[in-house]
Structure 1
Amino acid sequence: MSHSATSSRLGTDAALAARATRPGVLSAVTRYYSLTKPGVLYGNVLTTVAGYLLAAALFEFSWIVFVGVVVGSTLVIASACVLNNVLDRDIDTLMRRTSTRATVTGAIKGVPATIFSIVLGVLGVALLILTTNWLVVATGVGGFVVYVWLYGALSKRKSVHGTLVGSVSGAAPVLGGYIAASGQFDVAAIAVFLMMFFWQMPEFYSIAIYRRDEYARAGVPVITVVRSIRRAVWEIFIYTVLFVAASLLLPAFGYVGIAYAVVMGGLGLVWIILAVVGLRTRDVEQWSHRMFHGSMWMILALCLMLSVGALLP
């Protein structure tokens, strides 16, 4: 066999080998990516961006800080989600919507998943330190600790108040985004934190209604399991009202204009009416689906209005 033929054969073999291993590599990347809970991740990234743009319109915009807080926060949140997957393997096995996670099926073992989480967390915190301020770093690290340990490892498993604890970590990204641009903890910072904190309660309690049986089977003490669906409906109504009130703090204190107040006030009224419907309906499960979808539209509208509210009349 000539040298050129040998080279051709080796090149063909290398191409075939690369083609054979490529799907495996892509599959592994996909599995690790899934551990970051992309749906949760991107939702939190959206609130981080909204918080930053609100503060940037009031103070000063910096591309370095913007990219740093968005990417750094994303990495820290991803780290928390991955570690949460590792800790929740026993619960996830018993719930239909989580039973196919890579940490449950064994596609990714606990040790490599934990290492992946550590790498993401270290990179994220380092980026926050280099590009933002100590308030943002403290918020990011605090959100991580609350989500992974106080919520995931403790209150989620032992207390009906686990959702309240988890909502603290869920409100950290928008707060981190705001104080990255403002550099201070002011009334607007409190307002955006309260908005996200209150918004999560109707959103999650709606899920707790239509997935009650799954939570009961997994032994997770959510409100619909420990107390009642009726109690959950009432609390959804209360927290919806509190969310709308919190969303109107910004125009009340002059951080945004009338356009924000009209849009968020109008949408908030619609969401409150939908919550009232839940107090009267006989088909609570169907209503809870509508309430959940309403919460998704509400958070999208909120992020949009936070981003542009200070720039509008």
Structure 2
Amino acid sequence: MTSHGPTPAFHPGSDGTDGALASRAEGTSLRDRFTRYYSLTKPGVLYGNVLTAAAGFWLAARGNFDWFLFIALILGTTLVIASACVLNNVLDRDIDTKMERTKKRVTVTGGIGVRNAVIFSILLFVIGMGILIAWTNPLVVYVGLGGFLVYVVFYGMLSKRLSIHGTLVGSISGAAPVLAGYVGVTGAFDASAILVFLMLFLWQMPEFYSIAIYRRDEYARAGIPVISVVNGIKNTKTQILIYTILFVISTLLLPIFGDVGIVYTVVMGALGLYWIWIGIVGLRATDDDAWAHRMFRFSLVIILALSLMLAIGPITP
């Protein structure tokens, strides 16, 4: 760890006294315990990734839908992603204590002890991978395992803390679900599989870089070398615009392969041009935080629209 990395901090549950506090906290009602364990899975991140996995599946299915395979893939993928999120919460306790939006996570407050969180993560992983191994295909298993390792090890444990390029590494794992969904149907990599992976990879860059602008002070306080902290906001805005343009181009390449038609092209083209326009406006914006919030909010519109259009694109004109 470099000198600018986060400094290990004291965490509830790190000795006998706080371990007892964590145990008492976990001894409350069943509903409260469920809520705490559920929060460990980072539901916002979890369901966003599951949505793209479903979109990849629907795109590859092209109307020939296998519901059993779909349910198995979505359930297994959900559990594996949830496992990674839980483990990431455990690993990020030192960072989370220093950031406003994360300091109330149960792994920080002692609502769930580290040992129980790790056991929960292992159970989710074993069950999820078991489902993928039993009822999907080897490519899905490899993509799921690869995404898990990249997110937990190469992103969470290493690049996020050590390098400005952590976002690039994290975006690989973030693009894995849509790829898993696609190859779950085809059982093979093809040009469209690579393209949907690229779309999700590129989308995450302006999305996270926008967050890095309006949460710049929090990342700086936690010692996380995000681009806005290391290179400044002006450079971050330029990178956001570049990646937004590349994302839009990638979405408009899909019709070339005959997977989608004019409806997809018009919708994604119009939304993409508007997102680029927001990025251009940002270069001259004086209220950086307000603009970054706007850019981030529209990134959510974009990913919802993309997921929908990937799903219905093959069956619409």
Structure 1 length as normaliser, TM-score? 0.92
Following superposition, the deviation at residue 86 of structure 1 comes to: 0.3
Aligned to 2:20: none
Contact 1:155–1:165 (CA under 8 A) maintained in structure 2: yes
Paired residues, what number?
292
Pick from 82, 96, 103 the counterpart of residue 100 of structure 2.
96
Query: In structure 2, how many angstroms separate the alpha carbons of the residues matched to 1:22 and 1:77?
Result: 26
Aligned to 1:33: 38
Query: In structure 1, how many angstroms separate the alpha carbons of the residues matched to 2:285 and 2:95?
Result: 31
Q: Which amino acid aligns with 1:179?
A: V
Following superposition, the deviation at residue 23 of structure 1 comes to: 6.3
Aligned to 1:225: 229
Aligned to 1:11: none
Q: State the identity %.
A: 63
Within-5 A mapping of 1:1-313: 24-57=29-62, 60-313=64-317
Following superposition, the deviation at residue 249 of structure 1 comes to: 1.5
Q: Which amino acid aligns with 1:214?
A: E
Runs of 4 or more, structure 1, over 2 Å off, are none
Contact 1:167–1:201 (CA under 8 A) maintained in structure 2: yes
3-state SS of paired residue (1:255): coil
Query: In structure 1, how many angstroms separate the alpha carbons of the residues matched to 2:138 and 2:113?
Result: 34
Following superposition, the deviation at residue 154 of structure 1 comes to: 0.2
Following superposition, the deviation at residue 258 of structure 1 comes to: 1.1
Q: Which amino acid aligns with 1:49?
A: A
Query: In structure 1, how many angstroms separate the alpha carbons of the residues matched to 2:228 and 2:263?
Result: 38
Following superposition, the deviation at residue 173 of structure 1 comes to: 0.4
Following superposition, the deviation at residue 119 of structure 1 comes to: 0.2
Query: In structure 1, how many angstroms separate the alpha carbons of the residues matched to 2:38 and 2:285?
Result: 40
Following superposition, the deviation at residue 253 of structure 1 comes to: 1.8
RMSD: 1.2
Contact 1:146–1:168 (CA under 8 A) maintained in structure 2: yes
Following superposition, the deviation at residue 30 of structure 1 comes to: 0.5
Q: Which amino acid aligns with 2:42?
A: K
Q: Which amino acid aligns with 1:204?
A: F
Following superposition, the deviation at residue 282 of structure 1 comes to: 1.3
3-state SS of paired residue (2:291): helix
Contact 1:71–1:124 (CA under 8 A) maintained in structure 2: yes
Structure 2 length as normaliser, TM-score? 0.91
Aligned to 1:15: none
Following superposition, the deviation at residue 63 of structure 1 comes to: 1.3
Contact 1:61–1:181 (CA under 8 A) maintained in structure 2: no
Query: In structure 2, how many angstroms separate the alpha carbons of the residues matched to 1:165 and 1:300?
Result: 23
5+ residue gaps, structure 2, are 1-25
3-state SS of paired residue (1:274): helix
Query: In structure 1, how many angstroms separate the alpha carbons of the residues matched to 2:133 and 2:55?
Result: 21
Query: In structure 2, how many angstroms separate the alpha carbons of the residues matched to 1:64 and 1:131?
Result: 9
Q: Which amino acid aligns with 2:50?
A: V
1:157-206 Cα deviation digits (max 9, x unpaired): 00000000000000000000011011110111011101100000000000
Query: In structure 2, how many angstroms separate the alpha carbons of the residues matched to 1:212 and 1:155?
Result: 18
Q: Choose between structure 1 and 2: higher helix proportion.
A: 1
5+ residue gaps, structure 1, are 1-20
